[in-house]
């Protein structure tokens, strides 16, 4: 969806930009010559008019003859705006809307967030090819990416495993490279999507301390929904799953551990699918107090 919008924006930028260049190189000169000819004709055919009236009439003739076509005027007016939006969302920040509760309690359904587009490297828009390396996703980052099963759909999850990591989620305990990720109980959370109270925990993932939702007593059935690339890097067990993250890929999980369709079910996210790091809630129309940063 975001890729489709980027393509449409690029086409609009290209079309308006070509008209803008054509106007500078050719059309303005033609309009000026046409306007000057109209003004001269006005002066030649204005016998009997007093000088002030003649000036007004010839100025009007000049303006009418020099006015650009409506499509040229619109393209020239919109080109700077489209260029600004294109550069901003392609290389700096891009807005996204949270569509579900899979990242509760960190992000709620309806949160409007900003995503940093340059932190993990500069990518060419539309073709999405990285040309400058600036960094890579770190364990604990909240990341927007194109869903590997359907790249036209944008997903948002938290990075749990980096390339080479061994990730285990067994008995609802998350382990990275053989070490359980520390967590402690932090009360209960009312989950509006399911109208239930769920256990809330504070988890320390890498350098990031964040909250997760987890019902340790609820049944768990982790099975792949598709035979994803590098399927053999994962072993599905009666009590969970163990995966070794391939080079150039990441293992993603939602903070709402019992209600998130993530890497446990559809595999790894290749680096080329990464859109950027989510870092700021700029609006939630149902809860304006949520504006601000998050971990």
Residue 170 makes CB contacts below 8 A (sequence gap 6+) with 237, 239, 240, 241, 242
- List helix spans (H) across 131-274: 263-266
Please say if 172 is a catalytic residue.
no
Residue 157 designated active-site = yes
Phi, psi for residue 197 in degrees, rounded to 5: -90, 135
Q: Which of 100, 102, 260, 263 is catalytic?
A: 102
Tokens representing residue 141 in the block: 């980052």
- The β-bridge partners of 143 are 157, 277
Chain centre distance of CA 133: 19
**Strands across the sheet with 240-244, in order?**
179-180, 173-176, 166-170, 240-244, 234-237
Active-site annotation holder among 90, 100, 117, 157: 157
Whether the bond into 105 is cis, omega within 30 of 0 = yes
Residues tagged active-site: 102, 157
């Amino acid at each position: 969806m975001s890729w489709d919008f980027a393509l449409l924006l690029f086409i609009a930028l290209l079309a308006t930009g070509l008209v803008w260049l054509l106007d500078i190189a050719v059309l303005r000169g033609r309009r000026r010559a046409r306007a000057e000819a109209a003004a001269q004709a006005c002066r030649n055919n204005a016998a009997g008019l007093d000088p002030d009236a003649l000036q007004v009439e010839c100025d009007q003739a000049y303006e009418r003859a020099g006015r650009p076509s409506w499509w040229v005027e619109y393209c020239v007016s919109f080109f700077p705006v489209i260029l600004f939006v294109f550069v901003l969302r392609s290389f700096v920040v891009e807005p996204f809307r949270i569509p579900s509760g899979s990242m509760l309690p960190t992000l709620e359904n309806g949160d409007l967030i900003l995503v940093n587009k340059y932190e993990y490297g500069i990518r060419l828009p539309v073709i999405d090819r990285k040309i400058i390396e600036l960094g890579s996703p770190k364990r604990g980052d909240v990341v927007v990416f194109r869903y590997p099963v359907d790249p036209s759909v944008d997903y948002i999850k938290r990075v749990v495993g980096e390339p080479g990591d061994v990730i285990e989620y067994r008995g609802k305990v998350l382990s990275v490279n053989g070490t359980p990720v520390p967590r402690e109980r932090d009360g209960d959370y009312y989950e509006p999507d399911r109208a239930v109270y769920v256990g809330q925990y504070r988890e320390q993932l890498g350098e990031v301390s964040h909250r997760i939702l987890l019902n340790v007593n609820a049944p768990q059935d982790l099975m792949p929904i598709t035979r994803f690339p590098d399927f053999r890097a994962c072993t599905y067990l009666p009590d969970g799953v163990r995966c070794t993250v391939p080079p150039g890929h990441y293992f993603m999980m939602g903070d709402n551990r019992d209600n998130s369709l993530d890497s446990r079910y559809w595999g790894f996210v290749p680096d080329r699918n990464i859109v950027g790091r989510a870092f700021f809630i700029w609006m939630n129309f149902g809860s304006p107090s949520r504006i601000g940063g998050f971990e």
